[in-house]
């Protein structure tokens, strides 16, 4: 049996959902399509995977199923940034409509997408020098950027570092935090990423809101993995925009920044 998914399924449940009259009719099924369908074949987009049979689907995916599916897709830029942004907007829309996350369904879907789309998430087992040795041209020591946007005297990530590591985290320490602290810690990560990857390389001549949005997508698809990435996407409505003027806070705390030349000289 084919199950209607995607934007047309959302429009079935919600008249105010994003509408694209030219969109294909998206379906999935655990078995190959028999070729008989009232919709023109050139308008059909059918994804088939036998593992989908592990869930009891109806003819149209429910809001909870759509919400869970879109979250499970959100760790890849499948068709580029614009496609990810549409998924993100749909996730927020469904969350505001009261859709609920279905962990059992997520655990069925995620292995399918991992196999289909692949992913090389950031390796947090490296030491700091290896971790930050990539194509980004950096002006400041990364940790000092965290200090410049920290909510408190010290950046929150320091509270969850694994003993003896300067990068690897102890997940148990994160999950033991209260929700408000968890959200602030994730925001500090996003702020530092936005500054390091977008704002500073462009000499601050860029929209802080756009840079933050870019960093959210980058964090979800590349920097975070596993339950951390899931935490971000399950609270996307809250985390999709900054709660402070993070660029101004960074500038106000410029005394906390360590230029890389200075750090290398000290070493």
Q: What is the predicted pLDDT for the residue at 113?
A: 94
Q: What is the predicted pLDDT for the residue at 38?
A: 57
Q: What is the predicted pLDDT for the residue at 34?
A: 65
Picking from 110-119, 124-133, 185-194, which range would have the lowest pLDDT averaged per residue?
124-133
Q: In what order do the strands lie in the sheet with 3-4?
A: 3-4, 25-29, 44-48
Listed residue (16, 179, 183, 186) closest to 96, CA to CA: 16
pLDDT tens digits for range 172-196: 999 999 999 999 999 999 999 999 9
Q: What is the predicted pLDDT for the residue at 189?
A: 96
The long-range contacts involving 18-22, CB below 8 angstroms and separated by at least 24 positions, are 18/86, 18/89, 18/90, 18/93
Domain ranges of the chain: 3-117, 128-266
Q: What is the predicted pLDDT for the residue at 55?
A: 97
Q: Is residue 130 predicted with pLDDT exceeding 60?
A: no
Q: Is residue 131 predicted with pLDDT exceeding 50?
A: no
Q: What is the predicted pLDDT for the residue at 45?
A: 83
Q: What is the predicted pLDDT for the residue at 266?
A: 54
| Mean pLDDT across 131-149 | 79
pLDDT over 90 for what percent of the chain?
72
Strand partners, 140: 259
- Decide: 18 and 5 in contact? Cβ < 8 Å: no
pLDDT classification of 1: cutoffs 50, 70, 90: confident
Summary mean pLDDT of the chain: 88
Give the pTM. 0.86
Angstrom CA distances, 230 to 71, 236, 260, stand at: 8, 10, 33
Q: What is the predicted pLDDT for the residue at 43?
A: 66
| Mean pLDDT across 12-38 | 81
CB atoms inside a 10 Å sphere around CB 80: 8
Higher-confidence residue of 195 and 41: namely 195
Separation of alpha carbons 250 and 121, rounded Å: 27
């Amino acid at each position: 049996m084919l199950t209607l998914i995607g934007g047309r399924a959302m429009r079935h449940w919600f008249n105010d959902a994003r509408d694209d009259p030219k969109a294909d009719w998206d379906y999935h099924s655990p078995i190959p399509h028999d070729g008989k369908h009232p919709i023109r074949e050139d308008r059909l987009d059918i994804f088939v995977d036998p593992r989908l049979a592990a869930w009891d689907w109806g003819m149209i995916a429910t809001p909870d199923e759509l919400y869970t599916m879109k979250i499970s897709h959100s760790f890849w830029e499948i068709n580029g940034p614009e496609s990810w942004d549409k998924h993100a907007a749909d996730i927020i829309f469904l969350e505001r409509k009261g859709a609920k996350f279905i962990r059992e369904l997520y655990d069925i879907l995620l292995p399918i997408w991992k196999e289909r789309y692949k992913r090389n998430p950031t390796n947090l087992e490296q030491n700091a020098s290896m971790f930050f040795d990539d194509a980004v041209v950096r002006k400041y020591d990364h940790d000092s950027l965290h200090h410049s946007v920290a909510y408190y005297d010290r950046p929150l990530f320091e509270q969850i570092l694994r003993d003896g590591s300067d990068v690897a985290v102890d997940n148990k320490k994160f999950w033991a935090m209260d929700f408000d602290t968890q959200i602030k810690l994730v925001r500090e990560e996003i702020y530092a990423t936005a500054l390091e990857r977008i704002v500073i390389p462009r000499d601050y001549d860029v929209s802080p809101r756009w840079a933050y949005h870019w960093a959210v997508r980058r964090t979800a698809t590349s920097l975070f993995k596993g339950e951390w990435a899931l935490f971000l996407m399950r609270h996307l409505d809250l985390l999709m925009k900054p709660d402070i003027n993070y660029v101004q806070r960074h500038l106000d705390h410029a005394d906390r920044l360590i230029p890389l030349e200075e750090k290398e000289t000290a070493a």
